Amino acid sequence: MVNLTKLAAPLDVGGVEIRNRVFLAPMSGITDEPFRRRAHAHGAGLVVSEMVASGELAKGRTGFDLRIRHSGLPVHMVQLAGREAAHMAEGARIAAGEGADIIDINMGCPAKKVTGGYAGSALMLDLDHALSLIEAVVGAVKVPVTVKMRLGWDEGALNAPILARRAEQAGVKMVTVHGRTRCQFYQGKADWRAIARVKDAVSIPVVANGDVCSPAGAAAILDQSGADAVMVGRAHYGAPWIAGGIAAAAGEMATNVPQNPTALADYIVAHYEDMLALYGVESGLRQARKHLGWYLDRHAVGVADDDRKAILTTFEPARVIALLRNVFSRDPQPLNLRSAA
């Protein structure tokens, strides 16, 4: 088994120093500014914006500026998605102009609404086109460019090593590989050993992604993939401290994790209020509900159905906050603050 001390070491990505090697994955509708700030505060080495549609960004669509806005963190990394080279290049220039230190290109999203537009992991069906996007972005900005991909479209086209090698030749400074094909979506177990073929194909850093939720999982994926770093995604639902806990390699708690029901209630309320401040009350209420649901699922499994429904449907922030504090003030409260899901 790999020694986890490797994860505590800094990593250079095209001249940008990352403080450790446990990253928060970009997740659409989840890794907004309030979530990224929390993950970073808990010790995640790198946090990435939610996926930003380059076409909408280039056209100036309202709201997309929030996704690329600099959050004041030491490294600002923006992920772009799209299929048009001109839009990808312009989106990269806009993001860099807003202070992005690293631009990531999404070639891994499996969602039908993304692949249906020939973006995300659909780009792995046409590597020549994928490379035209990479070249456009690399040529448009002076900051490092990275790529996130899957193993391939399906089991018959496991072309991640080829894409990674061509991306490196085009100037990409790091690649992240999710150990599933697009057709797997999130079914079954991620194939960590298959990521090793990408590591063998390139000399730039490779980040392994898929099913990591604990220090033991991080050690296993490093051992099987030979990767330089790990990226953690869905394990963060209701627990923004997971990457930090893995980076600390303590096996139990991450830095600054709320240690009791009252502290957890304060933490959740602060997250909720930050989202309302970012999006405005009307939009913020809707955006926050998934997070509140995950917090309840993870840390308050015994919450009454009526209370849960009220928290997730009420349009009055003050009532939501009062309900949250009431739920987490009850004793005993089955908190689940461990780093493992």
What is residue 341's predicted lDDT score, i.e. its pLDDT?
39
Please identify every residue annotated as catalytic: 109
pLDDT surpassing 90 at residue 255? no
Instruction: Give residue 78's pLDDT band: very low, low, confident or very high (50, 70, 90).
Output: very high
CA dist., res. 145 & res. 143, Å (int): 7
313 burial via Cβ count (<10 Å: 0-12, 13-18, 19+): exposed
212-242 pLDDT per residue, tens: 999 999 999 999 999 999 999 999 999 999 9
Q: Which residues of 160-198 are buried (b: 16+ CB within 10 A; e: fewer)?
A: bbbbbbbbbebebbbbbbbbbbbebeeeeebbbebbbbb
Task: Please state the rounded mean pLDDT for residues 97-117.
Answer: 92
Res. 67 pLDDT band, cuts 50 70 90 = confident
pLDDT reported for residue 333: 55
Residue 45 near residue 229, CB atoms below 8 Å: yes
User: 339 pLDDT exceeds 70?
Assistant: no
Please, where are the H alpha helices in the chain? 33-41, 54-58, 64-68, 85-97, 112-115, 127-140, 160-169, 192-201, 215-225, 242-248, 261-279, 281-299, 305-313, 317-329
Q: Assign 40 a pLDDT band (cuts: 50, 70, 90).
A: very high
Give the total residue count for the chain: 341
- Residue 222 confidence (pLDDT): 94
Tens of pLDDT, residue by residue over 266-316, are 999 999 999 999 999 999 999 999 999 999 999 998 899 999 999 999 999
In DSSP terms, which residues pair with 209 in a beta bridge? Answer: 178, 231
Which of these, 6, 55, 49, lies nearest to 249 by C-alpha position? 6
Specify whether the CB–CB gap between 71 and 82 falls below 8 A.
Answer: no
pLDDT in tens, 165-221: 999 999 999 999 999 999 998 888 999 999 999 999 999 999 999 999 999 999 999
Per the confidence metrics, is the pTM higher than 0.85?
A: yes
User: What is the full DSSP assignment across 166-207?
Assistant: HHHHTT--EEEEESS-GGGTT-S---HHHHHHHHHH-SS-EE
Strands 11-13 and 16-18: antiparallel
pLDDT value at position 250?
39
Burial class for 66, CB neighbours closer than 10 Å (0-12, 13-18, 19+): middle
pLDDT band at 102 (very low <50, low <70, confident <90, very high): very high
The pLDDT value recorded for residue 338 is 57
| pLDDT at residue 117, rounded to an integer | 83
Least confident window among 242-246, 248-252, 280-284: 248-252
Which position has the higher pLDDT, 283 or 64?
283
Residue 340: predicted pLDDT: 43
Sign of CA dihedral 272, 273, 276, 278: negative
β pairing state of 145-150 and 11-13: unpaired
270, 31 contact by CB (below 8 A): no
Query: Which string of DSSP letters, residue by residue, matches 62-115?
Result: TTHHHHHS--S-SS-EEEEE-S-HHHHHHHHHHHHHTT-SEEEEEE----HHHH
Whether residue 210 contacts residue 179, with contact meaning beta carbons closer than 8 Å, is answered with yes
pLDDT for 4: 80
Handedness of CA 258, 23, 17, 29 (dihedral sign): negative
Q: What is the mean pLDDT of the chain?
A: 92
- Per the model's pLDDT, the better-predicted residue between 255 and 85 turns out to be 85
**Checking phi first, is residue 312 left (phi over 0); if not, alpha (psi -120 to 50) or beta?**
alpha
d(CA 136, CA 147): 13
133 has pLDDT over 50:
yes
73 CB-near residues (< 8 Å, 6+ apart): 36, 37, 40, 47
Cβ pair 102, 127 in contact under 8 A? no
